[in-house]
Amino acid sequence: MEERILKVEDLKVYFPVKKGILKKTVGYIKAVDGISFDLKPGETIGLVGESGCGKTSTGKALVRLNPIHEGKVYYNGQSLTELKDEEFNKLRPDIQMIFQDPFSSLNPRMTVGEIIGEPLKFHRKNEDVTELVIKYMELTGLRKEYLKRYPHEFSGGQRQRIGIARALALEPKLIIADEPVSALDVSIQAQIINLMMKLQKELNLSYIFIAHDLSVVKHISDRIVVMYLGNVMEISPSKKLYSEPFHPYTKSLIASIPVPEPGKKGKREFLQGEIPSPLNSPVGCKFSTRCKYADDLCKEKRPILEIVEGEHQIACHHWRKINNVE
């Protein structure tokens, strides 16, 4: 049995920039520029970073909604990148994606029953799916009386439950949730996160939970992958990341989480400057233009992800010096 449900190795997702009437490729938007991480069965990885750092592009590449420019993706030891479309289609139910906006991702002309049942009809032809649809509605906290209602009749939180039920109906093993709670009120966010944690235990799911806010992923994640401009900066067990961030970028992300007690002041390191364009990103460390520790080495050479200890990894030339590690 493979101990990793997913392995991502040096994944690159580039979007060509075309110009002129001949539509010549004049450059690439390097949305994801060589990232590596893995996921254990039943584990939750929180994928975080500022807007535009490539989180959605990563998620979509894993389900073939984005082309992979380079790199490898293994699902249960099987190379997804080398699978033909028809072989990949057989695996498709296993890996499901949930999107941020529960409204636009649900067809307004279909009833809840039809929405949840639609993928089932495709994958389980000739079966009466109503019973299954009701099972998944109840599992996600939706009453079966809602079966014939339309998406506009539901609140944001309920709509996200519909989205989750639709994904679950295919009995996936891995769910990529792209900012599933970002569009919801804070009180509702916790309900959906708790629901996802409950479902994970009951159905033995593995999650990639995408968010741009570190506070959102804190409770649900076992490990956190911090991305910046298409690169991974740090991977750390969740607790350690919050208590002892090592990467200068992670330090500033943690510092920007609002402090619950007003008046409490700590040593806070806020981010300076703008995130560079992914069309023309720094040659060396992608964070070098905003990092107060950056020197010539950082500007010239991209740091590779190295192991700090156990499952804690970092991509920074100077992490030892910055954190007083011998």
Rounded Cα–Cα distance for residues 164 and 175 (Å)? 9
The CB-of-179 to Mg ion minimum distance in angstroms stands at 6
What is the C-alpha to C-alpha distance for residues 159 and 144, in angstroms, rounded to an integer? 14
- The single residue among 55, 159, 251, 290 that binds ligand ATP, judged by CB under 6 A, is 55
- Our CB check for ligand ATP shows the closer of 53 and 183 to be 53
Does residue 57 interact with Mg ion by CB under 5 A? no
Helix (H, G, I), strand (E, B) or coil at 9: strand
Residue 29 within binding range of ligand ATP, rule CB under 6 A: yes
| Binding footprint of ligand ATP, residue count (CB under 6 A) | 13
Check residue 56 for interaction with Mg ion (CB under 5 A): yes
Work out which of 22, 23, 51, 109 binds ligand ATP, going by CB under 6 A: 51
Question: Which two three-digit tokens encode residue 20?
Answer: 């002129």
State which of residues 9, 15, 156, 311 lies at the interface with ligand ATP (CB under 6 A).
15
Residue 292 CB burial class (10 angstroms; 0-12, 13-18, ≥19): exposed
Give CA separation, 222 vs 26, 35, 217, 236, 239, in Å.
41, 19, 9, 9, 8
Tokens 């979007």 found at: 15
Transcribe 15-60 into DSSP letters.
EEEEETTTTEEEEEEEEEEEEEEEE-TT-EEEEE-STTSSHHHHHH
Contact (CB, 8 A) for 29 and 278? yes
Using left for φ > 0, alpha for ψ between -120 and 50, and beta otherwise, residue 212 falls in alpha
Interaction between residue 274 and ligand ATP (CB under 6 A)? no
CA distances from 79 to 8, 31, 45, 62, 88 (A): 10, 22, 20, 11, 10
**Closest approach of Cβ 300 to ligand ATP, in Å?**
24
- Residue 235, SS3 per DSSP: strand
Q: Which does 231 bind (CB under 5 to 8 A by kind): Mg ion, ligand ATP, none?
A: none
Nearest approach in angstroms of CB 14 to Mg ion is 17
> Please, what is the minimum distance in Å from the beta carbon of residue 208 to ligand ATP?
12
Query: Which is nearer to ligand ATP, 31 or 162 (by Cβ)?
Result: 31
Q: Does 53 bind ligand ATP (CB under 6 A)?
A: yes
Per CB under 6 A, 212 contacts ligand ATP: yes
**Beta carbons of 144 and 137 less than 8 angstroms apart:** yes
Q: Which does 31 bind (CB under 5 to 8 A by kind): Mg ion, ligand ATP, none?
A: ligand ATP
* Angle between the N-to-C axes of helices 112-123 and 130-139, in degrees from 0 to 180, rounded to the nearest 10: 120
* Count of positions on this chain that bind Mg ion (CB under 5 A): 2
Shortest approach of Mg ion to residue 178 CB, angstroms?
6
From 55-63, 102-110, 129-137, 304-312, give the range in contact with ligand ATP by CB under 6 A: 55-63
Which residue number, 30 or 55, has a Cβ lying nearer to Mg ion?
55
53 binds, among ligand ATP, Mg ion, none (CB under 5 to 8 A by kind): ligand ATP
Strands 223-228 and 44-48: parallel
Binding of ligand ATP at residue 286 (CB under 6 A)? Answer: no
12 binds ligand ATP (CB under 6 A): no
**Interface region with Mg ion, contact rule CB under 5 A, candidates 35-43, 51-59, 79-87, 287-295:** 51-59
Query: Is 54 among the residues that bind ligand ATP (CB under 6 A)?
Result: yes
List of residues contacting Mg ion (CB under 5 A) = 55-56
List of residues contacting ligand ATP (CB under 6 A) = 15, 29, 31, 49, 51-57, 212, 278
